[in-house]
Structure 1
Amino acid sequence: MGNSLELSSLAPESMFKLADMLLAKSMEKAAVKPQSSNLCVLLKEGNASQPCYFIHPITGDVAGYVTLVNQLDTDRIIYGIQSPGVDNPDEQIDSIEHMAELYIEAMALSTATQSIVLAGWSMGGMITFEVASRLLKKGHKIEKLILIDSALPNTKNVISLINQQGLIHLSMDIVPKQSRQAIESYVIQNNVTNLDELEKGLIQGKIVISEVNKSLIIKAVRLLNSNYRAIEKYKTSKRIDDIPTLMIYAGIRNLEDVKRAWKPFLNQSITDYLSVEGDHFSIMQLPSASHSGKAISSFLNN
C-alpha cells in the first residue's frame, strides 16, 4: 500500500492546481446559498427528507464542490459544510473531533431516524468519517458514504505527505499575480518555512500588498494552518461497518488495495468504486467531474 493511495491530496506539486478553483470562488458564490447556520450552505435544491452533506477539504470552504454538484442528477437536497473560519478568520478549529460536533449541530437533523448521505473530498473524507461515527453513536441513520480521493483517518500516513511550504504556495494562489509575486519574494528572501512565519510577516506589514488581498491571504493562511493542525492531531480507532460506500480516487487504483487500506476503518463497506483520470485537484473540475458526477448520481439514486 503506497502513500499516494493514502493521500494523493496534499502533495505540494499538486497544490498549485487549486489556484483556478480558489480564484473562481467569488463567481461560484452565486451558486452557494446560505442557510440558517453559517456553516451549512445550500449547493443544490431538492428533497429535504433525503439530505446529502459535502464536508469541506483543507481550504475550509465548499467552493471546490460546485462544479461536481452541478453534474449531479438527483432529487436529493445537497448541502456543503464549511469551516467557521471562512466567515470569521478569528474562529479557527484545530480538532477534527471538535469540527465533527460543530458540523453535526449545523446539520440540525430533525430526528434520529432521518436518513442522510455524507460526502467528503481530501481532508473532508477524514471529517466525514468522524461525523459518521458520531452520528451513528447518537442514533442517526447513515444511508451512504461518498469519499473522494480521501485521506485515510490515519495521522501517521497523512502527516508524512503534508509540506508546510506547499501550504504556503497554496495560500498564495488565491491572490492576483502581482500580490503573489510580492509574497513569494518575501518568502524566498526571509527563508519563510511555515504558515505562522508568513502570517507574522503579513500582519507586521512587511509584505506590500493591498489590504483586500492581505485580508484574503491571512484568512487562507489561518484556515490552512488550523486544518493542518487538526489533521496532525487526529487519531482514531473507530470503525464503521456495513454502510454502502462509494470511493472515488484520482488515477488508476486497484480496488483490492483500496479495500485493504480502508479495512481498519470501513469494514465490508466499500460497495462502489471509481478511478478517475487526473490528479487530486483536477478530478473536481471538468471533464473529470462529469465522470464522478455520473457515478455519484447512480450511487445516490440506487
Structure 2
Amino acid sequence: FSNIDIIHVPKPLVISDRLIEKYDLFDELIHTFKLLCQCVSPIFVHPVGGNVFCYYELASSFGLDRPFYGLRSLGLDGECKPYTRIEDMASAYIAAIRVIQPEGSYLLGGWSMGGVIAFEMATQLQKQGQKVDLLALLDSQAPITKKQPTQINNYDAQDKVLVEFAQDIANSTGKEILNLNNLNILYTNLKKLEPEEKLDYFLEQAKMFNLLPPDVEHQQFHHLLQVFQNNIQALFNYKSKNPVNSINSINRIILFRASSSVFHNNPTLGWENFSIEPVQIINILGDHYTMLAKPNIQSLQEAMSGYLKQVD
C-alpha cells in the first residue's frame, strides 16, 4: 500500500494513488474515494479504528454525482505517532482538507467517534472565520464527560482494550463470531498471560477468527492497536468548550441516528447541549454498524442527499 490506501469505487473512474504528492504529512491523512466534479465534497472523519473503510458503501452510493473524502488516523502505518487529543486531530485534519479546499463552506461528517472529531473541526473552522454548512453525525454520541473505570469485571485495562478492539473489528466487518461465550474465553485466557504474551496470543486468535488477514505482521497489528487505544483515550478525555454557533438558516447539526441504536439514553444523543439550533434527527434503518452496510445504506444516502442539495 502507498500512504493513501485507495478504495476503488466500482465505477469507471481513474483515481491517483497520490492526491497531494508535495504534502507528505497529509498523504497519510486524506483517503480519496472519488475525485470527479466541482460540487462541494463531503469530508468524513474516521471512527475509533482509524480507517475509513466503513464509508465505502456510502461513498459508492453517491454514484458519479459527487466526490467523497475520508480522513484517516495518522499512525496506522507506523510512520508517525498517533494523536492523543481530539483537538490536535482536528487541527491537523483541517490543515489537510484546506490543501484540497482552501476555503469554506465545508460539509463535514463522521460515524461514531468520527462525528465527535468532525464537531471539533467545525468549531475550530468557525474560529478561523470559515463556514460549515453541514455537520452530519452518524449515530455519534455527544462528548459528555463520564467517569472512566480502570477495571471492568476484574479485567485489567490492556485486556479490556484488546477485547474492545476485537469487538470493533468483528462488528465493522459483519462477523458475528464474538458471542458472549467467546468473549469470556478470550478474557479468561488473556488474564492468564504475561503482558508481553497477550499481544501474540490475541493476534493469533484474531487471525484464526478471520478478524485480521493471515499476513498481518506483529508490527502492523501493534500500529493498528495503538491507534485504536489512543483514539479511545482521546475520545474519553475530550471535553468540548465551543458549541457550534448558527451562521446560516440550515440546521447545523444533523443526527442520522440508527433506528436500532444501542444509545437509548437521549433522542439527540446529547447533542442538544452543543447546538444553538435544534438538532434535527433522521432515523436510519439498521443498528450502529449495519446502518453503513447494504441494504440500509440506501436509506442513509437518500436522507443525506437531500441536505447536500440544499448547500450546493
What's the TM-score, normalizing by structure 1?
0.73
2:306 maps to a residue whose letter is S
Q: State the Cα distance separating 1:40 from its structure 2 match.
A: 0.8
Contact 1:54/1:79 (8 A) holds in 2: yes
Runs of 4+ in 1 over 4 A off after TM superposition: 109-113, 157-163, 171-175, 183-187, 203-211
Contact 1:74/1:301 (8 A) holds in 2: no
What is the match of residue 5 of structure 1?
A: none
Which ranges of structure 1 fall in alignment gaps of 5 or more residues?
1-26
For the residue of structure 2 that corresponds to 1:240, the secondary structure is: coil
Distance 1:112 1:138, change over 3 A: farther
Within 5 Å, give how 1:275-294 maps onto structure 2: 275-294=283-302
* Match for residue 108 of structure 2 among 103, 118, 138: 118
* Match for residue 88 of structure 1 among 56, 78, 88: 78
What is the match of residue 275 of structure 2?
A: 266
* Match for residue 234 of structure 1 among 233, 238, 242: 238
Within 5 Å, give how 1:187-226 maps onto structure 2: 188-191=188-191, 197=195, 201-202=198-199, 212-226=216-230
Q: State the Cα distance separating 1:132 from its structure 2 match.
A: 0.4
Give a deviation string over 1:210-235, Cα, whole Å, max 9, x none.
66343443232111101011012111
Distance 1:40 1:111, change over 3 A: closer
More relative contact order in 1 or in 2 (CA 8 Å, sep 6+)? 1
Q: State the Cα distance separating 1:139 from its structure 2 match.
A: 1.0
Question: How many correspondences in the alignment?
Answer: 266
Distance 1:63 1:267, change over 3 A: same
Contact 1:241/1:269 (8 A) holds in 2: no
* Match for residue 91 of structure 2 among 82, 97, 101: 101
What is the match of residue 257 of structure 2?
A: 249
Q: State the Cα distance separating 1:131 from its structure 2 match.
A: 0.4
Distance 1:189 1:298, change over 3 A: same
Q: State the Cα distance separating 1:106 from its structure 2 match.
A: 1.0
Q: State the Cα distance separating 1:170 from its structure 2 match.
A: 3.0
Q: What value does the CA root-mean-square deviation take over the aligned residues? A: 4.0
Q: State the Cα distance separating 1:69 from its structure 2 match.
A: 1.5
Distance 1:147 1:203, change over 3 A: same
What is the match of residue 29 of structure 1?
A: 7
1:66 maps to a residue whose letter is Y
Higher helix share: 1
1:277 maps to a residue whose letter is L
What's the TM-score, normalizing by structure 2?
0.71
Single out whichever of 123-132 and 152-161 deviates more from structure 2.
Answer: 152-161
Give a deviation string over 1:70-98, Cα, whole Å, max 9, x none.
11267442110000122326521111011
Contact 1:115/1:140 (8 A) holds in 2: yes
Task: Check if 1:61 corresponds to 2:65.
Answer: no
Q: State the Cα distance separating 1:130 from its structure 2 match.
A: 0.4
2:8 maps to a residue whose letter is A
Give a deviation string over 1:190-223, Cα, whole Å, max 9, x none.
4179xx94x7633699969766343443232111
Q: CA separation in 1, counterparts of 2:225 and 2:274?
A: 31
Percent identity of paired positions between Structure 1 and Structure 2: 24
Q: CA separation in 2, counterparts of 1:269 and 1:30?
A: 38
